[in-house]
Amino acid sequence: MIIFDEERPSDSPFVERIWRSHSERGGSFLSIAESRSEMVVTRRYGKITLTVRGPETKATPLGDCPADGEWLGIRLKLGAFLPHLPARTLVDATVTLPEATRNSFWLGGSAWQFPDYDNADTFVDWLVREGLLVREPVVGAALQGQLKDLSLRSMQRRFLQATGVTHSAARQIERARYATLLLKQGVSILDTIHEAGYFDQPHMTRSLKYFIGQTPAQIIGKSWTEQLSFLYKTMPFC
């Protein structure tokens, strides 16, 4: 079972949230859909790795989670990406960066020290300064509905290039995550349908089954033993 120890927002315009967790024992784990990419540092049995995870377009059972592990996650804002790893190649995929030394990894032709929870923001700042982490401003404008001098086709193309998913897919994923959060907080199914913007209960059920891997009844119920990946407090976007 994975225990999420801490999570906090970041002051960086490139990062949405930083989190850390550990596992106490093995157990089944369900990775739910995610529109954003993240960098994850894994520590297990004295070995450290940094993996870049791309967006996940559907719920994916991962089998038993590894025991005795520690993880640090740097969840990027939608539209932030590493140019060396094009977003389209990371959809439903991960890339583990090559090890340089026991405490560092290779990125952009240089060796970088693995970040920790306390210096993650500084680590991100250095990546940005070196041009190894960039962002597409059109994505933020699209999320806020503030596009002015850009055609819909151009917005969609740049959104897909920066994030690896379409604006529509990202919106559907975030709506499903928001609905799941509401249900876990005790909001009724009918109120969740209205609040999250679904047409009716079958519409929400199909969405949650695909993106979250559980029906509304399973999310509410206490008998479901498969652990979901961490849900952040979030709101759906346009």
Q: What is the pLDDT of residue 30?
A: 81
> What's the average model confidence in pLDDT over 24-53?
88
If asked whether residues 124 and 190 sit together in one domain, one would say: no
Is there a single domain that holds both residue 104 and residue 179?
A: no
Tell me the per-residue pLDDT of 62-92, one tens digit each, with 9 for 90 and over.
766 677 789 999 999 999 999 999 888 999 9
Give me the DSSP letters along 199-217. Answer: SSHHHHHHHHHHHTSS-HH
Residue 158: inside a domain, yes or no?
A: no
Range with the lowest mean pLDDT among 74-83, 131-140, 217-226? 217-226
Question: In this structure, how many other beta carbons lie within 10 angstroms of the beta carbon of residue 145?
Answer: 8
pLDDT value of position 181? 92
CATH number of the domain at 208, please.
Answer: 1.10.10
pLDDT of residue 224: 54
For residue 87, what is the DSSP state?
G
Structure token pair of residue 171: 């919106």
pLDDT confidence bin for 238, thresholds 50/70/90? very low
What digits encode the pLDDT tens for the residues 142-157? 877 777 777 888 888 9
51 and 129 assigned to the same domain: yes
For residue 51, the cross-strand partners are 40, 96
For residue 152, the model assigns a pLDDT of: 82
The model's pTM is 0.89
Percent of the chain clearing pLDDT 70 (strictly above): 89
Q: Which residues are within 8 A (CB) of 217 and not within 5 positions of it... i.e. 6 or more apart?
A: none
Judge whether 37 lies within some domain. Answer: yes
Q: What is the mean pLDDT of residues 121-144?
A: 92
Tell me the residue range of the domain where 25 lies.
Answer: 2-135
pLDDT mean over 170-181 = 94
Please report whether residue 236 resides in a domain. no
Task: Reduce the secondary structure of the chain to three states and give it as a string.
Answer: CEEEEEEEECCCCCEEEEEEEEECCCCEEEECCECCCEEEEEEECCEEEEEEECCECCCEEEEECCCCEEEEEEEECCCEECCCCCHHHCCCCEEECCEEECCEEEECCEEEECCCCCCHHHHHHHHHHCCCCEECHHHHHHHCCCCCCCCHHHHHHHHHHHHCCCHHHHHHHHHHHHHHHHHHCCCCHHHHHHHHCCCCHHHHHHHHHHHCCCCHHHHHCCCCCCEECCCCCCCCCC
3 state SS for 163-182: HCCCHHHHHHHHHHHHHHHH
Q: Is there a single domain that holds both residue 12 and residue 92?
A: yes
The whole-number pLDDT of residue 87 equals: 87
